[in-house]
Structure formats: C-alpha cells, structure tokens
C-alpha cells in the first residue's frame, strides 16, 4: 500500500530491463501507479541520443560514407542463432562473471 503523502522516503529508482516484448511496460505502468511514482519510458530518449550520435560522428576512415539515420533504422539485422550466455550480475560476483565468460569463450 502506498505511503501517505506526508511520509518522507529516500528517493528510489526502479529500472526494468529486458528484451522487447517481455513485459517491462506491462509491469511498469501499474507499478508506477501503485507507488504513485513517475513512469519514464527511455526508448524515445535513447533514440534521440543515438540519432544525434549518428548524425554528428566523425569518420577516421578516408572515403567512408557514413550512413544516414534513416539507413541505420531501416537496416535489417540478422537474428543471433548461436547459444546465448546470460549472466545475472545481481547475483554473480565480477570475478565469477569473468571466469564464466572466459570459459564459454574457450579462453
């Protein structure tokens, strides 16, 4: 149950992350409403940042023609079909994560 408006709490940031269509927004909206918190969707902020970076970047490769933002957005990307390695850094120590990645890479 939400706290009364006059009760003070430390600021909290809750971030939901994951692949597209995994339920982040479905959970975030009712969660924000239940907590009487702001719901901020970062997709549009990220898109603007990526576009600005794409439009303003310099090329250090002579003769390379940089793609336009539209071309970047319209590009088709191949589906990753190899095995995935997922490491939950909330429960995995840095050294363990490094060891796991090295083992998976055969290094």
pLDDT bucket at 100, cuts 50 / 70 / 90: very high
Considering 39-48, 80-89, 92-101, the range whose residues carry the highest mean pLDDT is: 92-101
Closest CA to 16 of 34, 29, 3: 29
For 26, 39, 83, 88, the CA distances from 22, given in Å and listed in that order, are 9, 17, 19, 16
pLDDT, tens digit, 9 for 90 and up, residues 5-29: 556 566 677 777 777 777 888 888 8
Cβ proximity of 97 and 87 under 8 Å = yes
pLDDT at 11: 66
CA distance 96 to 93: 5
Cα separation, 2 vs 34, whole angstroms: 7
Give pLDDT tens digits for 52-83.
Answer: 888 888 888 899 888 888 888 888 888 878 78
- Provide the 3-class DSSP secondary structure of residue 93: coil
Band the pLDDT of 4: cuts 50, 70, 90: low
CA 43, 49, 52, 54: dihedral to nearest 10 degrees? Answer: -80
How buried is 37 (Cβ within 10 angstroms: 0-12 exposed, 13-18 middle, 19+ buried)?
middle
pTM metric for this prediction:
0.40
């Amino acid at each position: 149950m939400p706290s009364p408006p006059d009760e003070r709490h430390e600021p909290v940031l809750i971030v939901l992350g994951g692949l597209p269509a995994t339920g982040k927004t479905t959970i975030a909206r009712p969660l924000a409403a239940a907590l009487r918190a702001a719901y901020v969707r970062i997709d549009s902020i990220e898109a603007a940042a990526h576009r600005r970076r794409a439009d303003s970047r310099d090329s250090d490769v002579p003769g390379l023609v940089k793609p336009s933002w539209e071309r970047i957005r319209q590009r088709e990307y191949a589906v990753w079909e190899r095995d995935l390695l997922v490491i939950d850094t909330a429960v995995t120590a840095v050294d363990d994560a490094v060891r796991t990645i090295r083992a998976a890479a055969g290094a």
